[in-house]
């Protein structure tokens, strides 16, 4: 008797997740060794630019709702007020409201001209280099290279049942949403992309996302417009 397609699909994804997790750790270790001089220089630049620890640690929600401490290079000044950010996050998740409408009458779903961001922090965000310390989270098995971005507990508490589907895999340093013009996508659209990745993850799709991420870093534009080319992997 042949195995039902649903079970074959589950076994395929389970096997893929297993070897992907092992490969993630090996690549994370190699990346940490290779990029340690760059990370040291970035840490020094952050410390010169503004006082405080160059590494920012924050509790995030990972696979199946498990919490862990994620690490990033600090891009903001110390002791900043996040009241406006949390208020916007609440409107974004519960109402789908954008932060602003730009001059071309497009909805922008992220904080712009954020006064909390330092000079070096702005550059790190444009190149996504602020995510490099998360290689240590990948090495510890808390994250993957590719997957939905890990959210903060404050936001996850407002998730609907649909939103929580993005928590069914390990969060990633980069993902499908990150390489698809993310500035103009609502929260529900972002979740839809994450769920699409969860259901269709494969070596080919991961490879396309990695390549797009590298171009994003060197192109310094922070996101990509051609969603179809990536999703068709």
Residue pLDDT, tens place only, 43-99: 999 999 999 999 999 999 999 999 999 999 999 998 888 888 888 889 889 988 776
User: Model-level pTM?
Assistant: 0.82
Residue 18 lies in a domain: yes
Structure tokens that stand for 110 in this block: 């992220």
Task: Please name the residues in contact with 191: beta carbons below 8 A apart, sequence gap of 6 or more.
Answer: 162, 163, 165, 166
Region 209-226 average pLDDT: 67
Residues 220-231: tens digit of each pLDDT: 554 444 444 444
Assess if residue 91 is contained within a domain: yes
User: Has residue 15 been placed in a domain?
Assistant: yes
- CB 47, CB 120: distance < 8 Å: no
Task: Supply the pLDDT for residue 220.
Answer: 53
Domains identified in the chain, total number: 1
Residue 25 resides in a domain? yes
85-140 pLDDT tens trace: 888 889 889 988 776 665 666 666 677 777 889 999 999 988 889 999 999 999 99
> Does the residue 2 lie in any domain?
no
Domain that holds residue 182: 8-231
| 126 occurs within a structural domain | yes
Report yes or no on 1 lying in a domain.
no
Q: Residue 1 above 60 pLDDT? A: no
- Whose tokens are 């259901």? That residue is 199
């Amino acid at each position: 008797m042949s195995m039902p397609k649903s079970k074959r699909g589950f076994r395929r994804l389970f096997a893929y997740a297993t070897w992907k997790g092992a490969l993630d750790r090996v690549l994370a270790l190699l990346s940490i060794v290779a990029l340690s001089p760059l990370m040291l220089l970035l840490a020094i630049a952050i410390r010169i630019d503004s006082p405080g620890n160059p590494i920012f640690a924050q509790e995030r929600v990972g696979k199946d709702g498990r919490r862990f401490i994620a690490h990033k290079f600090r891009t903001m000044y110390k002791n900043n007020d996040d009241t406006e950010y949390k208020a916007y996050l609440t409107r974004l998740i519960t109402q789908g409201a954008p932060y602003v409408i730009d001059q071309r009458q497009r909805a922008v779903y992220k904080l712009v001209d954020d006064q909390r961001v330092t000079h070096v922090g702005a550059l790190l965000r444009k190149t996504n280099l602020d995510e490099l310390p998360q290689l240590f989270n990948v090495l510890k098995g808390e994250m993957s290279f590719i997957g939905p971005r890990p959210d903060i507990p404050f936001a996850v508490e407002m998730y609907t049942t649909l939103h929580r589907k993005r928590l069914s895999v390990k969060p990633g340093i980069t993902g499908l949403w990150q390489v698809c013009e993310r500035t103009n996508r609502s929260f529900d659209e972002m979740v839809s992309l994450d769920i699409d990745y969860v259901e269709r993850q494969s070596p080919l799709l991961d490879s396309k996302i990695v390549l797009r991420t590298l171009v994003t870093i060197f192109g310094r534009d922070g996101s990509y417009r051609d969603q179809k080319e990536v999703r068709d992997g």
